[in-house]
């Protein structure tokens, strides 16, 4: 009975923390962007402008939840639920500490990649069901971008898997007790980081939502809570990618002095801040440049990293 209660408490805690932080991340992004661009940012509602998050939440909830008459209603309603479900389900395998995780799977990394692949359906369904040209164009861009960069994301992780000899995320973290993977797997780390930006559809890879070309891309026709689910799903995705970078390349919860959970939080927040500051620093490339960058540069680098890692491990095992 106690194990069941502990499991339920862990599930509730992880879901609550992920969704709450996604809301706080809205404020964090605005404050960091303001700092980077030498302006004030939110500073009127509450201390340090923290009340802005509550104001935005009330605004989204109070807006009319409208479904266009020309849309495919069942699919139109389903799309935002898919992105939320796949993103939150991925948190089930995140190993926050040696003892805090919703579930420990021997194939935890494969589960994450599988959920990431299913997330593509959300944007495709949203664009198709809207029955409008701009959402359809945005969803086609998103599908090509996410399918392509998932290939590089998976290949970049094979070196990590080969070194740890496991797909279990706890085993991968523990294998970094002497040296974090960001050093021997630096190429894989860089490729995974870039692919993470593309998967989260964040600047400079937000071409599926390019406002000056596609209005708002695949969620142009969405409003109210359904738009809010896409919005929150993007921020939860940033947190998810940052958590996996921490586990796979930065030693996870390991570190001196601080408790394991504190180390995990500090490292994850550092990469969340990187996601935000890159948005303030880089411009958006053309779509053909984005696709060419992936297939012509990231794919060869990923394969080269895989071959070199395999060769080094074979030499060590002799």
Cβ-count burial of 50 within 10 angstroms (0-12 exposed, 13-18 middle, 19+ buried)? middle
Cα 239 to its chain centre, rounded Å, is 6
Residue 221 pLDDT: 78
Give the separation between CA 180 and CA 134, rounded to whole angstroms: 44
251-284 pLDDT, tens digit each: 889 988 889 999 999 999 999 989 888 887 777 7
Angle in degrees, 0-180, between the axes of helices 224-249 and 260-281, rounded to the nearest 10: 120
Dihedral angle over CA of 179, 180, 183, 184, nearest 10: 70
Residues 6+ apart with CB under 8 A from 109: 93, 157, 161, 167, 168, 169, 172, 248
Reduce the secondary structure of 196-256 to three states and give it as a string.
Answer: HHHHHCCCCCCHHHCHHHHCCHHHCCCCHHHHHHHHHHHHHHHHHHHHHHHHHHCCCCCCC
Give the separation between CA 172 and CA 252, rounded to whole angstroms: 9
Which of these, 274, 268, 278, 273, lies nearest to 244 by C-alpha position?
Answer: 268
Give the separation between CA 248 and CA 54, rounded to whole angstroms: 34
Are 252 and 181 a contacting pair, CB within 8 Å?
no
Cα 63 to its chain centre, rounded Å, is 27
Residue by residue, pLDDT tens for the chain (318 residues) are: 467 787 788 888 888 888 888 878 888 888 888 888 888 888 888 788 888 888 888 887 887 777 788 878 888 888 888 888 888 889 989 989 888 888 888 888 999 988 888 888 888 888 888 887 788 887 888 788 877 788 888 899 999 999 998 899 999 999 998 889 999 999 999 999 998 888 877 777 776 566 556 666 777 778 778 887 887 888 888 899 999 999 999 988 998 888 999 999 999 999 998 988 888 777 777 878 888 888 888 899 999 999 999 999 888 877
pTM of the full predicted structure?
0.90
The tokens for 22 are 């996604």
Give the separation between CA 268 and CA 274, rounded to whole angstroms: 10
């Amino acid at each position: 009975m106690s194990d069941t209660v502990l499991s339920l408490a862990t599930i509730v805690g992880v879901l609550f923390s992920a969704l709450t932080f996604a809301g706080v991340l809205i404020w964090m992004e605005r404050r960091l962007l303001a700092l980077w661009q030498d302006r004030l940012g939110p500073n009127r509602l509450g201390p340090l402008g923290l009340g802005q998050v509550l104001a935005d939440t009330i605004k989204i909830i109070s807006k009319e939840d409208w479904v266009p008459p020309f849309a495919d209603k069942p699919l139109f309603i389903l799309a935002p639920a898919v992105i939320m479900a796949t993103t939150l389900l991925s948190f089930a395998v995140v190993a926050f500490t040696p003892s805090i995780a919703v579930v420990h799977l021997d194939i935890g990394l494969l589960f994450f990649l599988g959920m990431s692949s299913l997330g593509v359906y959300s944007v495709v369904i949203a664009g198709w069901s809207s029955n409008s040209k701009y959402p359809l164009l945005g969803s086609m861009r998103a599908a090509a971008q996410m399918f392509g960069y998932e290939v590089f994301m998976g290949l970049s992780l094979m070196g990590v898997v080969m070194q740890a000899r496991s797909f279990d995320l706890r085993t991968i973290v523990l294998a970094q007790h002497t040296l974090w993977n960001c050093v021997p797997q630096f190429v894989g780390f860089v490729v995974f980081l870039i692919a993470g930006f593309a998967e989260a559809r964040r600047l400079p890879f937000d071409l599926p939502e390019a406002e000056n070309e596609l209005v708002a891309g695949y969620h142009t026709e969405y409003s109210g809570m359904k738009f809010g689910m896409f919005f929150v799903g993007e921020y939860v995705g940033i947190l998810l990618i940052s958590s996996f970078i921490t586990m796979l390349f930065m030693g996870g919860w390991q570190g001196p002095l601080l408790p394991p959970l504190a180390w995990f939080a500090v490292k994850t927040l550092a990469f969340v801040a990187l996601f935000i500051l890159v948005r303030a620093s880089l411009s958006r490339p053309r779509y053909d440049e984005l696709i060419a960058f992936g297939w012509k540069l990231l794919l060869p680098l990923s394969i080269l990293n895989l071959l070199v890692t395999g060769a080094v491990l074979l030499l060590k095992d002799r």
